[in-house]
Amino acid sequence: MKQTLAIVNYRMGNLNSVKRKLDRLKTTASITSNARNIIKADKIILVGVGHFAKAMKNIKELNLLDALNEVALIKKKPVFGICLGMQLMAKDSEEGKAEGLGWLDANVKKMQVDDTLKFKIPHTGWNKITHVKKSHLMKGIPESSEFYFVHSYCLKSNEASNILNETEYCFKFTSAIEKDNIFGVQYHPEKSHDAGEALLKNFISL
């Protein structure tokens, strides 16, 4: 029996580009804002490009908060956050001074760079990742693989054991996390060619 994957529609970001990528990987994925469908799915993905506080407001207005907590914290199904989707897993963010889902002991901070001529914010384009710990999510993805980034805020994990990848951009920041059934990446695997496809395949095969 094929697994089902729910792409959570909280009215933010790159839903269709992620769906198209998953379709090409022959995965049964649907875009949904229905709490019942989210709870029934085998895995869920939180995508997003947008404002943290607005995203949390939308999640609450769509009555998705309890469903997301049930999937991630009670049923402990695999959950994957992309960009803003990962940031929402933190306790809070400086973007809108808003509380997050609180699944991770982490905070989201505005990126600050010393050399504003060399390092632009938002951080946009290709950059390398380094592996901090072993993970099925990184299977077949070499050290220093390049992924595509677009972000002005980054997640600061207060638990070093949750850090999966780091990336250097004026300073070192967390670019992927893993805690039990909860996974997140700051970069965009759906825009990252072969490395991104390998990562999505790894999540699907969990």
- Could you give the residue numbers annotated as active site? 83, 188, 190
- Apex CA 108: angle with CA 104 and CA 112, to 5°? 145
CB 104 within 8 A of CB 177: yes
φ, ψ at 87 (rounded to 5°): -60, -35
Both structure tokens of 57: 């407001």
The dihedral built from the CA positions of residue 128, 148, 188 and 173, taken in this order, carries a sign that is positive
* Rounded CA separation 67/45 (Å): 13
* Rounded CA separation 13/18 (Å): 10
For strand 130-131 and strand 163-169, is the pairing parallel, antiparallel, or unpaired? antiparallel
Encode 36-61: b = buried (16+ Cβ within 10 Å), e = exposed.
ebbbebbbbbbbbbbbbbbbbebbee
